[in-house]
Amino acid sequence: MTNKKPIHYTGVAKFLHWAIALIIIMMLVFGQGFDEIKTKAEMTFSLAGHSSLGLTVISLLVLRILWRIGHPAPDLPESVGSGQKTASKLSHLLLYALMIYVPATGLYTIAAHEFAAVPYGAFDLRSALNFLGTDDFDGRRALHEFGTWLLMALLAVHISAALFHQFVQKDGVLRRMWFGGGKPAK
Ligand code: HEM
């Protein structure tokens, strides 16, 4: 038996972190193309892809939040000052808030869309969200877009902080979320 505290995230937490990151970055990049769409066929295809990835992200996020409740993040190394620890907690909380806000406003926007969205080719999501009303598509879309800009800004801070730890402070903080080695958090 050892008392040593775990220094790595669990394999499940790592998988969920990188899967969600990959999908969100893809959505942020491909989402920029919505303004260029000219035909109904293109819009239907894009809405199907965007809503499939969106529902996947929502499912993974629910799993991640449930997993996180039972498996707290490992403590940061002692070399990380208290100001940096507070900033890290605050930015992670904001990231979670935006990861909820952006998909939620996406669903709100789909409900008022001119065209149906059929995620995974399986069902008509717009009709399923009928209870959210269908007024003011532009206002809803603006709420969603605003969230995506905030998310991009916060992701830039998050990635810069990870790289700063890795290459300037060299304190192993990024390695805690990378694969292989280390004792996982319980
Ligand atoms: C983290 C998840 C998501 C990200 C990162 C994301 C990202 C984006 C981006 C970047 C845009 C383009 C905004 C612009 O004009 O600049 C967009 C538009 C849109 N998104 Fe999302 N989105 C997400 C989730 C969702 C979800 C879950 C839905 C609904 C199922 C959704 C529905 C829409 C709709 C309807 C539009 C507007 C399409 C149009 O202009 O006709 N989004 N999204």
pLDDT at 74: 87
Quick one: which atom of ligand 1 is closest to the CA of 58? 27
**CA dihedral defined by 26, 20, 161, 75, rounded to 10 degrees?**
-170
Which positions of the chain have pLDDT values less than 70?
1-6, 181-186
pLDDT at 186: 45
Answer for the pair 108, 147: CB distance below 8 angstroms, yes or no.
no
Residue 6, classed as helix, strand or coil, is: coil
pLDDT at 55: 98
Q: Note whether residue 41 is domain-resident.
A: yes
Q: Note whether residue 144 is domain-resident.
A: yes
pLDDT at 13: 95
Give tens-digit pLDDT for 27-68. Answer: 999 999 999 999 999 999 999 999 999 999 999 999 999 999
Q: Note whether residue 54 is domain-resident.
A: yes
Q: Note whether residue 182 is domain-resident.
A: no
Residue whose CA is closest, atom 30 of ligand 1?
51
Ligand 1 mean position, distance from CA 41 (Å): 17
Q: Which amino acid is at 155?
A: L
Ligand 1 mean position, distance from CA 111 (Å): 12
Answer for the pair 48, 67: CB distance below 8 angstroms, yes or no.
no
Alpha-carbon gap, residue 18 to 21, rounded angstroms: 5
Calculate ∠ Cα 20-24-29, nearest 5°: 150
Residue 1, classed as helix, strand or coil, is: coil
Q: Note whether residue 25 is domain-resident.
A: yes
Is the pTM higher than 0.85?
yes
pLDDT at 182: 52
Q: Is the CB of 109 under 6 A from ligand 1?
A: yes
pLDDT at 20: 98
pLDDT at 34: 94
Token code pair at residue 123: 């069902």
Residue 11, classed as helix, strand or coil, is: helix
Total domains in the chain come to 1
Q: Note whether residue 142 is domain-resident.
A: yes
Q: Is the CB of 57 under 6 A from ligand 1?
A: yes
Ligand 1 mean position, distance from CA 156 (Å): 19
Ligand 1 mean position, distance from CA 1 (Å): 49
Q: Is the CB of 129 under 6 A from ligand 1?
A: no
Q: Note whether residue 181 is domain-resident.
A: no
Q: Note whether residue 1 is domain-resident.
A: no
Ligand 1 mean position, distance from CA 183 (Å): 38
CATH number, residue 172: 1.20.950.20
**Structural domain for 19, as ranges:** 11-176
